[in-house]
Amino acid sequence: MAQADRPSAPTLDPATLSRVAGGLVHELKNPLSTLGLHLSLLEEEWRKDEGPRARRSLQVLGRLRSEVGRLNDILEDFLRYARTDTLELAPTDLNSVVEHVARFVEPELRAQKVGLQVLADQGLPRARADESRLRQALLNLVINARQAMEQRGGQITLITRREGDGLAIEVLDDGPGMSAEVLARCWEPWYSTKAGGSGLGLPTVRRLMEAHGGGMDLQSTPGRGTRAVLRLPAMEDQHSG
pLDDT tens readout for residues 129-162 = 989 889 988 988 998 888 888 767 789 999 999 9
End-to-end Cα distance, the chain = 63
Instruction: Output the pLDDT for position 237.
Output: 43
List the single range of 63-72, 138-147, 159-168, 190-199 with lowest mean pLDDT: 190-199
pTM passes above 0.95: no
* Sequence-distant (≥ 6) Cβ neighbours of residue 81 within 8 angstroms: 21, 189, 200, 203, 204, 207
- CB-based contact 231:167 (threshold 8 Å): yes
- CB-based contact 165:124 (threshold 8 Å): no
**Percent with pLDDT over 70 in the chain:** 76
Average of per-residue pLDDT across 159-166: 92
pLDDT tens readout for residues 19-46 = 666 666 666 777 778 888 888 888 888 8
Instruction: Give the confidence band of 120 by pLDDT, cuts at 50, 70, 90.
Output: very high
- pLDDT higher than 90, residue 126: yes
Give the span between the Cα atoms of 219 and 37, in whole angstroms: 43
Higher pLDDT, 180 or 172: 172
Higher pLDDT, 67 or 195: 67
Average of per-residue pLDDT across 175-188: 82
Higher pLDDT, 196 or 71: 71
Instruction: Output the pLDDT for position 1.
Output: 42
Instruction: Give the confidence band of 238 by pLDDT, cuts at 50, 70, 90.
Output: very low
